[in-house]
Amino acid sequence: MKSDLRPADQVDSQAELRLLRELTQRVGSNPLLAQASTGNTSLKLDGVLWIKASGRWMADAQQNEILIPLDLAEVHQCWQRDLDPAERFPGASLETAMHALLPHAVVLHVHCVNTIAWAVRSDARAHLQQRLEGLRWRWVPYVESGLPLALAIGNSLSAGDADVFVLGNHGLVIGAENCRAAEQLLSEVGRRLAISPRQAHPADYTVLAEASTGSLWDLPDDDTVHALATDPVSRAILAGGLLYPCQAIFSNSSAPTLFRSIACSDSPNQWASRYRSRPVLLIEGRGVLISRSMTSAECAMISGLAQVVQRIPASAPIRYLTDAEIANSSSAVAYRYRELANERIGGGAGVPALSAAASGKSLAS
C-alpha cells in the first residue's frame, strides 16, 4: 500500500502505531482481559485500518507483526454489500467489520472475565444500567461474531453515540479517540464491573497426582482451574450449558457434557476408556486434570472459564447459548481461528498465570 504521507506525518503515524502495539500487548498480557488469542484491537489512520490478525495473541504485539493494514474504504464497501470483510481479507480478525463500522479511531475488543460474568446473565442489562450510569454505553444481546455483530452494534448506535458496548455472552468493546483515552475508559469500566471471585475448596493434590500417574492427563499449571471441580456452585453452572462461544470453540465441544464433573468414586483405571476423548476431567470435589496434549490456547480458555464461573453467584439467572448459536460458533471459520491460536508464533511475552490474578482486582490491574 503506497503512502502519500509527508516525512513528519509518517513519524506521527509510526508513533500512533507504536502506542497501539504497546496497548495491545498490555491488554493481551492481562489474563482477566484476554485469554490466548481472544480479543482484538484496531487503529484507523490515514485511510488505513490497522487491526490484529486473526488467531494471533495480543500479548505478542511488540515481539511479532500481529497488526495488518487494510484499506478502510474497501472494508466499508464489504459490509455495505453484506459481505463479511473477514472473508474478503482472510488474514484479518473475525471482527474486522465491527472495528470498521465504529467511528472511533481506536477500538478495543476484550474478553474480560468480569464483563462476561455479567453478560451471561439473563438480567444483565438491569445490573449494567446501574453500574455503567453516566457512561455512553449500549447493551448488545448475543449475536454471532463477524458481520452480524457489526450490524447489531450499528443498529444500537441509532439511539445515539456510544463508546462502551457490552456484548451478551461474549465480552466488551471500547471505542475512543486515541490509545490513552481507550485505556482509561477500559479501566473505568473495569472498576465498575469488577467482581470478587468465590473462594473455592483447595484441590486434593494427592488424589490428582496418583490419578495422573501413567495416564493421559496431568495437573494444570494454573491452580485456580481446580475450582471448576471443587466448587459446587461452579459445577452446577457448568452443568447447565455453554456460556460463551470460545468455551465451545477451544474445547471442540457442542454440548456441556465435557464440563460436567465425574464422580471421584470412579476408578482412575476406567477413565482412559470412558473419558479418553475429553481434554479435561473435572473430578468432583477433588480438582481438575487436563489432557497431556492440550495446547496453550486451550489451557488459557480453561483458566478464563474458571475465572468467569467463579464470579457468577449461585442465584444468578443464566442465559446459556442455544443449540443454534453453538452450531454457528462451531463453523469452519471459527475452527480455523482455533487452529491459528494453537499455532502461536514466536516467543512472545507470554500470558501470566491466572493464579496470580485470582484476587478479584479490577480490569486495569
pLDDT class of 357 with cuts at 50, 70, 90: very low
Averaged over 19-42, what is the pLDDT? 96
Q: What whole-number distance in Å separates Cα of residue 279 and Cα of residue 295?
A: 10
Is it the case that residue 130 has pLDDT exceeding 70? yes
* CB count in 10 Å sphere of residue 355: 17
In this prediction the pTM is: 0.89
pLDDT at residue 330, as a whole number: 61
When comparing pLDDT for 23 and 249, which is higher?
A: 23
Structure confidence by residue, pLDDT tens digits, 203-226: 999 999 988 888 889 999 999 999
pLDDT at residue 99, as a whole number? 97
Mean local confidence (pLDDT), 17-21: 97
What is the C-alpha to C-alpha distance for residues 341 and 85, in angstroms, rounded to an integer? 20
pLDDT > 70? residue 315: yes
Mean of pLDDT values over 154-159: 93
Q: What does pLDDT average to over the chain? A: 87
What is 281-327 written as a DSSP string? EEETTTEEEEETT--HHHHHHHHHHHHHHTTS-TTPPB-PPPHHHHH
Which residues is 217 bridged to in the sheet?
A: 291
| pLDDT of the residue at 8 | 45
What domains are there in the chain, each with its CATH number?
7-193 (3.40.225.10), 205-357 (no CATH)
- Does residue 236 surpass a pLDDT of 90? yes
How high is the pLDDT of residue 344? 64
User: What local confidence, expressed as pLDDT, does residue 355 receive?
Assistant: 36
The arithmetic mean of pLDDT across residues 294-321, rounded, is 96
- pLDDT of amino acid 334: 57
- Judge contact between 240 and 320, C-beta under 8 A: yes
The per-residue pLDDT for range 245-291, each reduced to its tens digit, is 999 887 777 777 889 999 876 666 777 678 877 889 999 999 999 99
Residue 101: name the closest of 127, 130, 135, 72 by CA: 72
Calculate what percentage of the chain has a pLDDT beyond 70. Answer: 85
pLDDT band at 2 (very low <50, low <70, confident <90, very high): very low
Using the predicted structure, report yes or no on whether residue 339 has a pLDDT greater than 70: no
So what's the pLDDT on residue 277?
A: 78
pLDDT at residue number 350: 38
pLDDT at residue 363 greater than cutoff 60 = no
pLDDT at 20: 98
Q: Say if residue 45 is exposed, middle or buried (CB neighbours under 10 Å; 0-12, 13-18, 19+).
A: buried
Q: Which residues pair with 44 in a beta bridge?
A: 49
**Residue 332: what pLDDT?**
44
pLDDT score at 257: 84
d(CA 283, CA 135): 43
Give Rg (Cα) of the chain: 20
Backbone angles phi, psi at 256, to 5 degrees: -75, 0
What pLDDT sits at residue 359?
35
